[in-house]
Chains A and B, each alone.
Chain A
Amino acid sequence: MAIQTILVINRSGGLVYQRDFLPSAAKLTSNEYLILAGTLQGVVAIASQIAPKSLQISAKQGAKTGSELGDATQTVPYVGSLGSSAASAADLGSFLGPDFFNESFTSWNTKGLKHVTTDQNSLFLYQTLTGLKFVAVSTQNTTNAMAVSIAENLLRKAYCLYADYVMKNPFYEPEMPIRCELFDKKLGELVAQL
């Protein structure tokens, strides 16, 4: 799959970063992307409010067992050497080793919107514990469990880059649009290796 666009949405629902990777990508104006980001924030909030009746009942009956089962199914498996080849192994910012992480991890987004499939594209959404959202749009028109976990792995790596090159930049103001060249460059490398 090829990644067409990556977006970062802050905790209050504003678009702070947007980048197209394919020249063929449909051109939206920055204002339209801003509206798209706001809409996504709203859809995630609505999606987390509606759940199948069966899930609601099982959650009520045994809150403890329900959440434990939930945790088991909400684990994202680690997908091999995705987006990090030997060439980049030397430079992962403050991270060490051949890759940013090497274990499966828990998804923080348990009942919000996680992916959308359309005739031409798929959209994947990764949400952090602090409310930040990373969105990837790819050029495939089917989604399977594998594609979702690849996307979540990719977006967690984007989060690692964000933590390094955006959060550690003293001139970046929280919640404001991201204008960090290093972040741009590293994200470009990450997507290019896919």
Chain B
Amino acid sequence: MSSSTNNTPVPSTSSKKSLKVFSDDIWKNKTAKINAELFTLTYGSIVSQLCTDYERDFAKVNNQLYSMGYNIGVRLIEDFLARTALPRCDSLARTSEVITICAFKVFLNVTPQVGNWSSNKDSFSLFLEENPLSEFVELPMDAAKELWYSNILCGVLKGALEMVQMDCDVWFVNDVLKGDQTTELRIKLNRVLKDEIPAGED
């Protein structure tokens, strides 16, 4: 990963610092908290029920998780914006900071690492060192090949970014549950939906 972070666009350190302080404050003082195990286990029961319902057709389970995530994302973005009131991101590098330092912190209390920027800076990866969704999980043999256990996260990111007029593709590349070294989630910006930016903004 050290080699991959080399081509990260260098953001101004001051803004990065202040975003971190800002996000920590919001998470600490402005957000109600619950026991994370309750969250982890609820998600676990959803996935295991889906696997049963779809008769272990894991491609369908992946799709269903993605669309559930999408529906969460288009709503969750309002909560995120009401809570933080952050301005529109001026670059994808800034978006990646806001997602990792602020959004993941506020909702999941983790901070993924950003890396693997593509050469034209339109896609990047999030490395989830800890993933609260898959805390107590071991995938069964038949699921280990196909199932992306935390696929709901991809849907959430897709839905939320779409509501702020960024058309993105989001997918998992690696997952430690499948025996990979890292859990890597890739975000690719297709285009900014300029026509849909609300009137009155710059």
Contact = CB atoms under 8 A, between A and B. Distances in A.
B83 interface: yes
- Interface size range on B against A: 20 to 34
A141 interface: no
A47 interface: yes
A193 interface: no
A167 B83 contact: no
Contact of A109 (B29, B74, B85, B200): B200
B38 to A, nearest CB: 15
B85 A106 contact: yes
Contacts of A100: 30, 82
A9 to B, nearest CB: 11
A49 B202 CA distance: 10
A44 interface: yes
A97 B75 CA distance: 23
B29 A97 contact: yes
Contacts of A130: 77-78, 81, 163-164, 198
Interface in A87-109: 92-97, 100-103, 105-106, 108-109
A59 B77 CA distance: 30
Interface in B18-59: 22, 29-33
Contacts of B77: 130
Interface string A157-174: 001101110011000001
A103 B32 CA distance: 18
A67 interface: yes
A127 B200 contact: yes
A11 interface: yes
B30 A97 contact: yes
Nearest to A164: B79
A101 B85 contact: yes
B87 interface: yes
Contact of A110 (B33, B75, B201): B201
Given A95-B30, A95-B32, A174-B74, A128 B81 contact: yes
A48 B79 CA distance: 26
A70 B90 CA distance: 14
A163 B82 contact: yes
B125 to A, nearest CB: 25
A127 to B, nearest CB: 6
Interface of A: 11, 44-45, 47-49, 67, 70-71, 92-97, 100-103, 105-106, 108-113, 127-132, 156, 159-160, 162-164, 167-168, 174
Interface of B: 22, 29-33, 74-79, 81-83, 85-88, 163-164, 196, 198-202
27 contacts: A45-B199, A92-B32, A94-B31, A94-B79, A95-B30, A95-B31, A95-B83, A96-B31, A96-B33, A97-B29, A108-B200, A109-B201, A110-B202, A128-B78, A128-B81, A128-B82, A129-B81, A129-B88, A129-B198, A130-B78, A131-B198, A163-B79, A163-B82, A163-B83, A167-B78, A168-B79, A174-B75
